[in-house]
Amino acid sequence: MAAIDTAIRAAAAAIALKGVSKAYDAHSVVIPPLDAELRAGEFTVVLGPSGCGKSTLLQMIAGLERVSGGAILIGGREVQDLEPKLRGCAMVFQNYALYPHMSVFDNIAYSLKVAGMPKGERIARVGAVARMLGLDELLGRKPAQLSGGQRQRVAIGRAIVREPGVLLFDEPLSNLDAQLRHDMRIELADLHRRIGATTVFVTHDQVEAMTLADRILILNKGRIEQFDTPRAIYHRPASVFVAKFIGAPPMNVLPVTGDGMTLRLADGQAVAQHADSGQFLLGIRPEDVTASAKGPLQAQLRYREDLGSHSVLAVDLAGSTLRIATPFGAELEISAKLALDFSPTRLHLFDAGTGQAIANAFGPH
């Protein structure tokens, strides 16, 4: 990008959510009081199922929805009662609206013009953003003459052109095809490295979450299930919900019973050693199961998906379906008997009642 005018560029600011809650009416609490600290310059991805409150949370930070309770601090300043334009955030909406009567150039340049940036500088800055977003050929068009994906890129350009201290994105890449999505993801990561705005990015896409985030905030019915680095979320999920939400195919979760020494599957096969007795859920990722000629667990192949680089096998194990990701297996016959093995260091254990992870259930790892 062209040289950055530091006079207009805002410093990244930490965002603190202190007991922030939202109820649209007395009967439906969308977000119960929620606490989170987003560090200055951090890239947070908010992930969760449809309707869990992601857009609501983002709009409360931006000031487009009022909070029902609690405080929002941006750069240490309470902003929950401030107008959106006084909060220093730029936002790309899920349903972004461009100025229909303005050209793409003017849409992107608008905030620079309002801020009084000289024309030459404006042209340079918009040109650099347009090149980055692949919009250089389209600067003279009106929004109605653009495809959905092109409009989405203009909306991103409009938000990033001022290089704000806080950038809020609500599924900004959802209308793009796979190739463009991939390219934009790399551009956004690069943009973040260069301008370092505190970024909150809502997505349904796990790959976006894993690759863009410094930390991922996983939301379930308005509550934080886990807020941690992608690695920690993947390798040490705090709950069954997180374990099943991240990973494709998701983690296998099997009911097991402990007798104080051994954990057993529903059909009595022993799977691991654990000192507590009771009902548990045992988690194992598809890539952490090995299927071989010899192994302690007996299973039967139900179906197989060949994906080129690897296969995903679905097997019956003790009345549950278990998925296995393996580079081998393309030659296996359906109904074949398989012997499975789990490495104890790759197992996860959850409380069957609460779904919460039991730390160090199989020793520290």
Ligand X SMILES: Nc1ncnc2c1ncn2[C@@H]1O[C@H](COP(=O)(O)OP(=O)(O)OP(=O)(O)O)[C@@H](O)[C@H]1O
- Which residue from 55, 199, 206, 226 is in contact with ligand X, where contact means CB under 6 A? 55
Minimum Å distance from CB 68 to ligand X?
A: 12
Q: Quick one: 232 exposed, middle or buried, by C-beta within 10 A (0-12, 13-18, 19+)? A: middle
Cα separations (Å) of 164 from 10, 81, 114, 281? 5, 20, 14, 45
Minimum Å distance from CB 214 to ligand X?
A: 21
Hey, how many other C-beta atoms are within 10 angstroms of the C-beta on 359? 9
Question: Do the Cβ atoms of 306 and 350 come closer than 8 Å?
Answer: no
**Cβ within 8 Å of residue 291, ≥6 positions away:** 299, 313, 315, 324, 326, 328, 329, 338, 339, 340
- Which residue from 55, 152, 198, 206 is in contact with Mg ion, where contact means CB under 5 A? 55
What is the CA angle 40-45-49, rounded to 5? Answer: 150
- x/- track of binding to Mg ion for residues 5-44 (CB under 5 A): ----------------------------------------
Select the binding partner of residue 52 from Mg ion, ligand X, none (C-beta < 5 to 8 A, by kind). Answer: ligand X
Minimum Å distance from CB 56 to ligand X?
A: 3
Binding flag, residue 52, ligand X (CB under 6 A): yes
- x/- track of binding to ligand X for residues 2-31 (CB under 6 A): ----------------------x-----x-
- Which residue from 12, 45, 47, 53 is in contact with ligand X, where contact means CB under 6 A? 53
Q: Helix crossing, 148-160 with 104-114: angle to 10°?
A: 20
Select the binding partner of residue 56 from ligand X, Mg ion, none (C-beta < 5 to 8 A, by kind). Answer: ligand X
| Distance, CA of 306 to CA of 240 (rounded, Å) | 27
Cα separations (Å) of 271 from 62, 288, 311? 49, 14, 24
Binding flag, residue 56, ligand X (CB under 6 A): yes
Binding flag, residue 203, Mg ion (CB under 5 A): no
Residues in the chain: 365
Binding flag, residue 239, Mg ion (CB under 5 A): no
Stretch that binds ligand X, among 46-54, 103-111, 174-182, 275-283 (CB under 6 A): 46-54
- Which parts of this chain interact with ligand X (CB under 6 A)? 24, 30, 48, 50-56, 94
- Which parts of this chain interact with Mg ion (CB under 5 A)? 55
